[in-house]
Amino acid sequence: MVLKKLAGILLIGVVLFTLEQSASAGALTFNETLSAQGGSVLPISLTRRLHLDSSAAVIVDQSTGNILYGKNMREECPIASITKLMTAMVTLDSKQPLDQKLVVTEADVDTLRHSMSRLPVGTVLSRREMLQLALMSSENRAASALSRNYPGGLPAFVNAMNRKARELGMWHSHFVEGTGLNDQDMSTPEDLAKMVNAAYHYALIRKITTTSTYRVNYAPHRYLNYLNSDVLVRRDPFPIGLSKTGFINEAGHCLVIQTRVYNHPVIMVFLNSWGEYTRVGDVIRARRWLEAIHWPHVMTTEG
């Protein structure tokens, strides 16, 4: 009986402390709150457990920066085409004209992995269209063209990517190019939550990444129809404010997403999932978990 009473007192103390910390977190920015936790998560739910198939993941309350769930969330790993979110932010930060025409050249052909592209060399599209295809459908040649046409070329673009990462407090991230095809484009789930939160504040990125289909006129009287690489965006089962997929062998299947649960914003990051639909399953499992614990009315973490 004594032990039960002590356990009860301890649990109440933990809950009160968490509530106090959560209230004061409102004065901090998303990144400050996320970083201040030092990789810690909110108190453990005693009734619900969340099991994800992704090797590394994090779920963050976007309104406070509080980490709701973490799994290897500070593990540095390749992030594949999630890189393109940084590519898009750096491109938009440059304030270059979105209607300026860019040409796909031989320099944009993937000689590292020989990945397929539907954009022939010589294709001329606007910077806005290149952004559309790079973000929505993970078109690598479009992302490469954006990187090359930055003031100062690709070296200056990569420097801007890493400078932006430091500005966002992404201390465990490093970029070497703008497509994500290179496995040296590295980050952590925790850092990517910061990147997703920053990208969410770009209206064009939100719009593009939540567009289901897009038709591009790539040559006179010739069109290409593109689909969003995230099946959840195409099926629209719940509110999605931002989404980006990624895959290379070294990174596995990756997905970052901003959504709402009980009309409350949340950011989810899933890295190195073994199957294309496993990452989608993790999103659904995470949403059901949050709904089951009636978040944000109670605060929980990984079981």
Provide the pLDDT for residue 114: 95
Residue 185, domain extent: 2-292
Query: Which residue out of 54, 81, 137, 243 is catalytically annotated?
Result: 81
Cα–Cα distance measured from residue 228 to residue 156, given in angstroms and rounded to the nearest whole number? 29
Is there a domain that residue 65 lies in?
yes
Query: Which residue out of 45, 54, 137, 138 is catalytically annotated?
Result: 138
Is there a domain that residue 163 lies in?
yes
Using CA atoms, how far residue 41 sits from 22, 44, 108, in Å, is 12, 8, 42
* Contact (Cβ atoms closer than 8 angstroms) between residue 75 and residue 92: no
Is there a domain that residue 300 lies in?
no
Cα–Cα distance measured from residue 125 to residue 222, given in angstroms and rounded to the nearest whole number? 13
Is there a domain that residue 160 lies in?
yes
Q: Give one word for 192, left, alpha or beta, with left for phi > 0 and alpha for psi -120 to 50.
A: alpha
- Residue 138 bears catalytic tag: yes
Is there a domain that residue 122 lies in?
yes
For residue 182, count other CB atoms closer than 10 A to its CB. 18
Query: Number of structural domains, the chain?
Result: 1
pLDDT tens sequence across 90-108: 999 999 999 999 999 999 9
More confident residue, 79 or 19: 79
Q: Give one word for 294, left, alpha or beta, with left for phi > 0 and alpha for psi -120 to 50.
A: left
pLDDT tens sequence across 265-288: 999 999 999 888 999 999 999 999
- Residue 126 bears catalytic tag: no
State the CATH number of the domain containing residue 280. 3.40.710.10
Query: Which residue out of 71, 84, 194, 244 is catalytically annotated?
Result: 84
pLDDT tens sequence across 189-220: 999 999 999 999 999 999 999 999 999 998 88
* Max Cα distance, the chain (Å): 82
Percent of the chain with pLDDT over 70: 83
Is there a domain that residue 186 lies in?
yes
Is there a domain that residue 46 lies in?
yes
Is there a domain that residue 112 lies in?
yes
- Residue 81 bears catalytic tag: yes
